[in-house]
Chain A
Amino acid sequence: MSGANRIKGKGRLTPAKTLRFTFDRKVLTAVEGDTLASALLANGIHLTGRSFKYHRPRGMLSAGSEEPNALLDVGRDAARRTPNIRATVQEVYDGLQAKSQNRWPSLAFDVGGINNLASPFFAAGFYYKTFMWPKAAWKKLYEPIIRAAAGLGVAPSERDPDHYANHFIHCDVLVIGGGAAGLTAALAAAHAGAEVIVCDEQAETGGAFHHDTDATVDGVSGWDWAQAATAELRAMDNVKVLTRTTAFGYQAQNHVVLVERVTEHLANPDASLPRERLWQVRARQVIIATGAIERHMVFANNDRPGIMLASAARTYLNHYGVAVGSKVGVYTACDSAWSAAFDLKQAGVSVPAIVDVRTDPDPALVARASELGIEVLSGQAVLDTSGKLRIKSMKVGKASAGSTRDIAVDALIMSSGWTPSVHMYSQSRGKVVWDEEGQRFLPGHHVQACASVGACSGVDDLADAMDGAAKAGHEAAKAAGVETGPVWTAPDADTATLWTGSMMGSAAGAGPETTVKAFVDFQNDVTAKDIRLAVREGMHSIEHVKRFTTNGMATDQGKTSNIHGLAIAAEMLGKPLPQVGLTTFRSPFTPVTFGAIVTHSRGDLFEPIRRTPMHDWEEAHGAVFEDVGQWKRAWYYPRPGEDMHQAVNRECRTVRESAGMFDASTLGKIEVVGPDAARFLNLMYTNGWDKLEPGRCKYGIMLREDGFIYDDGVVGRLAEDRFHVTTTTGGAPRVMHHMEDYLQTEFPDLKVWLTSTTEQWAVIAVQGPKAREIIAPLVEGIDLSTEAMPHMSLREGTICGVPTRLFRMSFTGEAGYEVNVPADYGDAVWKALWARAEPLGACAYGTETMHVLRAEKGYIIVGQDTDGTVTPDDAGLNWAVAKKKPDFVGIRGLRRPDLIGGGRKQLVGLTTKDPNIVLEEGAQIVADPNQSVPMTMIGHVTSSYWSENCGRSIAMGVVIDGRALKGRTLYVPMPERTIEVEVTDTVFIDKEGVRLNG
């Protein structure tokens, strides 16, 4: 048993292969190949959820991805559940757990249904006008309540245990859609020799053959031909067939993104399989074969469970062997619904009447209906329906007036015609054009290298569609550069199903001025009356109507509703429909999980984590790390019982008393090589480099064109034609690009080349009075005496037997070295140095101590003491700007009157009157604390620390004309108090710099 509504002998599933699943905890049986929708219908269940706004009972509308109603919470366990899954797409597997959403306490009795009675409050635009008063109540009361009552499913709270795969893939021809046209195009392109990918969102290819059983292709049924064609494609080396794969995004340059559901249909998926695959296809040519989507009829109470699209009912019958009811009414404006009625009747289902709004339906259809004993009511309409949780009857009558009649039904199938699926075309930036004869929008000029074939391009006849697709497939292969052979021609095809007839907008019984609910957009609960109201309230552009009513803005992107909404708006505006225009379709075509979008970019792979060669040692020695861009840098090394403050104080003291070791490997390094290297540096830095001798180094400042400080660093000259440039850690990549950019565009005549060596060298700073004592026994080939190697010099030799570039330089104000060794040796050399340093009382120190020590000396940090609007003079670094150089980047900027004149913020030192107060970085500075608010702010604090070495707090800040204010008292107003500060010099320790030469 797999449901009472399963009809023996109908459908393509194997009845013996049964599966068990639950719906709202009730155990039900399905057949292998069922979707959740077909399985529920087989069990006589139409009611699957409550609507978004009014909590109206809803059931399956469709049998495909356009489904707006049947959204369920589906999963196999607590962590693997996904809300808002369309029951019409989800395949049943053994053990699947499905739950209805948006209802409380139960699906059949839902308190939120009160929204339905309160619906006058929820008319179009209600968000904008209903709950405006009192204002305070909006945030606390109205919005939370409305949000809780409205809305869809609930996101899972547990971490997703599955993995998702990403694949970049290229092909000659991508075919989107595996129906008759898509398969034909794929075969033609593949036989021409092209590399082809064909994808289809359903479990099996075949498209409309899922429901249209009237078709024959190449002498067999359309379905059988489609399966044989797919098998043929799968067997070809140059073809990839992807089923359960939705093309959801059509980006620039034929970059089409597909998502493949790999395990969502399996009971016990192999853990090694990704749950979903993201295929990022770059196709030379794309063929869009996405078919057409059937529209519903817009009439009063057209949303009761049991009311669905005619093609859906036909799919459930012909593919799944399920009757959607036992007494099925038909309401249509299109011929194809008649075929559904005939199929149902022949399968033994009672079809009390076909109601066709057209006064003169095709006589052949009428004749066939009478032959089957189906009553035909032409020129009539379904004016209303009854039934609480399922349709019970339909009220039928003439649209104008006259008598009406209630016909008992337990299902009502409907069709107002077919909308070509132009989503992919529209996403490719193509503009749709109006087809007056077919009363529909069709693809016009294709902007990208693509073509549309079959029903999505308005070709209704099966044989024509396949002929056109075969030609398009061949042409696409040719356009992709494939040397094509003979043209593969499509097989003969024919179908008795007709697709003619269309009606857009509301049918009789939906208005014009009634209070009835005739739904246009099921998922967002938008009715015909809402759209009329929007127009009456002045929304004349369809873009405004869409946003005001939210028509077409739900997760189904208005696949069934857009055209109806447009037609109603056009009617109200008294304009022809094409003049009102269609809104743009955007990616994604159907909802995509975050997992599939993110794939492996999560956890440790969300962003690269960069570690230095000494990282493991630092970790083992208790370092606390801070993130500096992508780098992990040792921040401080707390000993047992120490907090950060105590650890930093100890490190600061130790460096000045004995020595400290610091990992400076993250500093950017660029090797500048060539006969014009010095000339190039003259242009890139404010300083002059001609006189720097090999073996010496110098602090340099780099500006942008506008004259503001861009980066700084020490540059060493290794040889006449070779410099070792260092940059800030954060500036490394951009300085490299900045330099390369100028070299290639402004100074291409210079014979000089740049190579990033940031990661070639591990850098160990050894700083403090005992620095030389620490390194000396390990160094060979370099005279370390101050006379031979003074402050700001550079030597090459070996340390621990490995080559080193040894810099004598300091960012602490102490005598010190920066030991550069090839990165793989960093760990070993650090350990060797530590073995020397530790017994001498030195410590390892982190970036926090580095910051404090440099602030004690007034050394700036670009990006902290500068903010992109600071000139060298503002920062007190005018000494580093060469006065005689004819040119450098930023020289013109520096001459701008605003940069020279007074009134600029200048970097100064700040000491608090109370030495124990540490200012907050970023705090504003004022001259008069008693002025009225808003006060005139004359500067702000840029760096502020407790200095253990000074025994007080120290700070730097930028203050308007600050250097002239030395000795003056300024004020830092804080919420709880105003802090008095004195303006000082920026150097707080060893003002004469004697320690550097120790």
Chain B
Amino acid sequence: MADIAHPTRLESLAGRAIGATGVMLTPAPAAHRVVLRADPREAEALSKALGLELPAAPKTSARTDTGRLIAWLGPDEWLIIDENGDPAADLAKAAALHSAVDISHRNTAILVTGKGARATVQGGCPQNLSERAFPVGSASRTVLGKIEVVILRTGAEEFRVECWRSFADYAFGVLSEAAKDCLA
């Protein structure tokens, strides 16, 4: 029963990675994820509990040195990602009215890195992801091919593509296909 006491996590993209010329696709490590819903007027108290300011402007994100990442998804909606501490535990301490729902297993992410990263993501995403329109730190809920994704630009040549678990296979497929012509 030892294995039952410690069941292993089977992530949807376990073991998959692709290195094409100019671009790498890597499944992101498991992380705590929380969808935070709250009246923006409560942002200050919630920011305090989370240890960083909730972004208030569309298409932006905030990040701590320890890697906690918050993406603005809507006027009352944020996606919080943290590979270490559980944001839900921090939010539980906040007195401000809010909804925090654990979606650590709902989402999975693909890291797209390299010179061809932008062209790869643009192979399926119609949004303008140029440096000018989508600088480092930008985040947006948008589409990739036929699915909904959240795209975060974590570096000049680094994108994080978040999608629901069962769509990861499709997202990985579309990105792999786009990576073949990433113009790098």
Contacts and interface: CB of A to CB of B under 8 A. Distances in A.
Interface of A: 163, 165-170, 195, 272-274, 277, 280, 282, 600-601, 604-605, 607-613, 631, 671, 673-675, 751-761, 778, 800-802, 822-829, 832, 835
Among B30, B97, B105, B147, chain A packs the most CB atoms within 10 A around the CB of B105
Contacts of A829: 7
B95 interface: no
A439 B114 CA distance: 55
Contacts, number: 146
B178 interface: yes
Nearest to A603: B173
Contact of A167 (B100, B123, B127, B170): B123
B4 A832 contact: yes
A609 B97 contact: no
Contacts of A601: 145-146
B181 interface: yes
Contacts of A761: 105
Nearest to B5: A801
A272 B35 contact: no
A751 B97 contact: yes
Contacts of A165: 123, 178, 180-181
A170 B174 CA distance: 20
B85 interface: no
A235 B152 CA distance: 31
B109 to A, nearest CB: 13
Contacts of B130: 170, 195
A737 B7 CA distance: 35
Interface stretch (B8-16, B45-53, B57-65): B8-16
Nearest to B148: A733
Kindly list the 6 A-B residue pairs having the minimum CB-CB distance in the complex, ordered from nearest.
A828-B7, A753-B37, A165-B181, A673-B99, A610-B166, A753-B99
Interface in B116-141: 119, 122-128, 130, 133
A608 B147 contact: yes
B106 to A, nearest CB: 4
A175 to B, nearest CB: 18
Given A605-B145, A759-B164, A832-B7, A600 B177 contact: yes
Nearest to B21: A272
B166 A757 contact: no
A875 to B, nearest CB: 30
Contacts of A605: 145, 170, 173-174, 177
Given A607-B146, A608-B170, A613-B12, 14 more contacts: A168-B125, A274-B181, A605-B145, A605-B173, A608-B147, A613-B165, A673-B37, A752-B99, A759-B105, A760-B104, A761-B105, A778-B4, A800-B4, A835-B4
| A interface: dominant SS | mixed
A680 B76 CA distance: 18
A190 to B, nearest CB: 16
Contact of B133 (A170, A272, A671): A170
Nearest to B167: A608
Given A166-B178, A608-B146, A753-B99, A828 B105 contact: no
Contacts of B128: 170, 282
Nearest to A602: B177
B145 A600 contact: yes
A760 B10 CA distance: 13
B43 to A, nearest CB: 15
B86 to A, nearest CB: 12
Contacts of B90: none
A196 to B, nearest CB: 13
Contact of B126 (A168, A277, A611): A168
Interface of B: 3-12, 21, 30, 35, 37-38, 76, 97-107, 119, 122-128, 130, 133, 145-147, 164-167, 169-170, 173-174, 177-178, 180-181, 183
Contacts of B166: 608, 610-612, 631, 759
Contacts of A800: 4-5, 7
Contacts of B8: 828
22 contacts: A166-B123, A274-B180, A274-B181, A282-B128, A610-B166, A611-B169, A613-B10, A671-B101, A674-B99, A675-B97, A751-B97, A755-B37, A755-B101, A757-B101, A757-B103, A760-B106, A778-B4, A822-B105, A824-B9, A824-B11, A826-B10, A829-B7
A605 B21 CA distance: 22
A835 B174 CA distance: 37
A756 B173 contact: no
A832 to B, nearest CB: 5
B168 to A, nearest CB: 10
Contacts of B102: 760
A165 B7 CA distance: 41
A609 B35 CA distance: 25
A604 B177 CA distance: 11
A824 B108 CA distance: 10
A757 B145 contact: no
A277 B181 contact: yes
A822 B21 CA distance: 36
A824 B104 CA distance: 9
Nearest to B14: A824
A613 B128 CA distance: 34
A753 B97 CA distance: 11
B169 A609 contact: yes
B71 to A, nearest CB: 15
A167 B129 CA distance: 12
A754 B106 CA distance: 15
A722 to B, nearest CB: 8
Contact of B106 (A169, A823, A827): A823
Contacts of B12: 613, 823-824
A761 B105 CA distance: 7
Nearest to B164: A759
A610 B180 contact: no
B97 A758 contact: no
Contacts of A600: 123-124, 145, 173-174, 177-178
A604 B97 CA distance: 44
A827 B9 CA distance: 8
A825 B10 CA distance: 6
Contacts of B21: 272
A165 B124 CA distance: 10
A828 B10 contact: yes
Contacts of A282: 126, 128
Contacts of B125: 168
B106 A758 contact: yes
Contacts of B119: 167
Contact of B105 (A169, A610, A611, A824): A824
A452 to B, nearest CB: 25
A163 to B, nearest CB: 6
A755 B106 CA distance: 11
Nearest to A756: B106
A325 B9 CA distance: 76
B9 A801 contact: no
